[in-house]
């Protein structure tokens, strides 16, 4: 009886946590879109500068700046390369959140290399209940999976201890079988 109650409690908590994932994905998408738009503005500025001065593309302008004798120009070129790489990563993320399903969004969010974005998103996250069918189903399925992953080891251990207890009683029962009617 206590086991069943504990199982229901674990499922309830797992379900509530799992239902937050779609909400978190929405918040994460908003954060990512803001980062993408601000970085896009910078990258477009780099491209306009490259075009105005006759470079074929932004990266060719940056390569030229990296060869400059002035250290500040080389440092600025390095920062621009980092910004371009960030923009490419953000572009990929925005595409995942615009076209992907909830599972691909979740995998993208919880990738260790993007943990700092997740931390920033969690700073402003407010728990809630998802309003879409897809999000609710995702939460229920994830809640069930979490429940099974947390309770299955306990169930297996309990069965193992019961079997051990039953095998220890059997030999004693056989010896006393005639006397006690075991």
Nearest of 22, 11, 9 to residue 129 by alpha carbon: 22
Report how far apart, in Å, the C-alpha atoms of 145 and of each of 10, 114, 125, 153, 155 are.
11, 24, 24, 13, 15
Question: How do residues 54-79 score in pLDDT, each as one tens digit?
Answer: 999 999 999 999 999 999 999 999 99
What pLDDT score does 47 carry?
A: 95
Indicate if the pLDDT at residue 18 is higher than 70. yes
Q: Pick the residue with more confidence: 59 or 151?
A: 59
Of 122 and 163, more confident? 122
- 152 three-class SS: helix
Who contacts 86 (Cβ-Cβ below 8 Å, separation ≥6)?
A: 39
More confident residue, 98 or 146: 98
User: So what's the pLDDT on residue 60?
Assistant: 94
Residue ranges covered by each domain of the chain: 2-125+132-174
């Amino acid at each position: 009886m206590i086991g069943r109650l504990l199982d229901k409690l674990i499922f309830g908590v797992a379900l509530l946590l799992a239902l937050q994932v779609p909400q978190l994905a929405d918040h994460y998408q908003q954060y990512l879109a803001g980062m993408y738009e601000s970085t896009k503005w910078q990258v477009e500025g780099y491209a306009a500068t490259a075009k105005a001065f006759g470079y074929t593309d932004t990266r060719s302008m940056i390569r030229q700046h990296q060869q400059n004798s002035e250290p500040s120009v080389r440092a600025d070129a390095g920062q621009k390369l980092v910004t371009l790489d960030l923009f490419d990563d953000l572009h990929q993320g925005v595409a995942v959140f615009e076209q992907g399903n909830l599972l691909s969004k979740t995998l993208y969010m919880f990738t260790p290399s993007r943990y700092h974005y997740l931390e920033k998103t969690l700073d402003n996250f407010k728990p809630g209940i998802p309003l879409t069918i897809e999000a609710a189903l995702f939460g229920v399925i994830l809640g069930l999976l979490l429940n099974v992953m947390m309770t299955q080891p306990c169930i297996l251990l309990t069965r193992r201890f019961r079997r051990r207890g039953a095998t220890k009683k059997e030999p004693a029962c056989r010896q006393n079988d005639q006397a006690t009617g075991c």
